[in-house]
Amino acid sequence: QSALTQPASLSGSPGQSITISCTGSNSDIGNYNHVSWYQQHPGKAPKLLIYEVTNRPSGISDRFSGSKSGNTASLTISGLQTDDETDYYCASYTTFNTWVFGGGTKLTVL
C-alpha cells in the first residue's frame, strides 16, 4: 500500500486561502469517504482537523474545510493565519482494511 501523494510544500499570505491536495487510488480515497486531515505543530502530536471528507470535530475552526473528487481529496484553509504555518497530513481507509497516510505538506505563511 503506497502512501497518498501530497505536495511537499505550499505557501500563502495571511488572509489568503490555500488548498492542499491528497491523491490516492481506487483502493483508498476513490472507494471510501473515510478521508481525514491532520495538523501537526513541531514537537506535538497531530490534531484531527477533518474526518469523513468534510466533517469538522468540535472546536475546529470553520476556516478548515475538506472535499473530495474521484481519487483526490483536498483541504482548504481560508483566511490564513501565521499559526497555520506547520505540517498537514491526509489519511484514508483502504480496501485492504488498513489505513494509509499522505507524505505530509509543509505550509509556509509568508
Partner 1 sequence: QVQVVQYGTEVSKPGASVKLSCKASVYSLTSSHMHWVRQAPGHGLEWMGMSADIGDTTRYAQKFQGRVTMTRDTSTNTVYMELRSLRSDDTAVYYCVRDFAWSFGSWGQGFLLTVSS
Binding site for partner 1 (CB under 8 A): 1, 3, 32, 34, 36, 38, 40, 45-48, 51-52, 55, 57, 89, 91, 93, 96-104
**Three-state secondary-structure class, residue 52:** coil
**Three-state secondary-structure class, residue 110:** coil
Q: Which is nearer to partner 1, 17 or 55 (CB)?
A: 55
Residue 39: all three cell numbers together: 495538523
Q: How far is the CB of 54 from partner 1 (least distance, A)?
A: 12
Q: How far is the CB of 62 from partner 1 (least distance, A)?
A: 18
Q: How far is the CB of 71 from partner 1 (least distance, A)?
A: 17
Report the amino acid identity of residue 15: G
Q: Which is nearer to partner 1, 24 or 104 (CB)?
A: 104
C-alpha span between 79 and 97 (Å, rounded): 36
C-alpha span between 45 and 61 (Å, rounded): 18
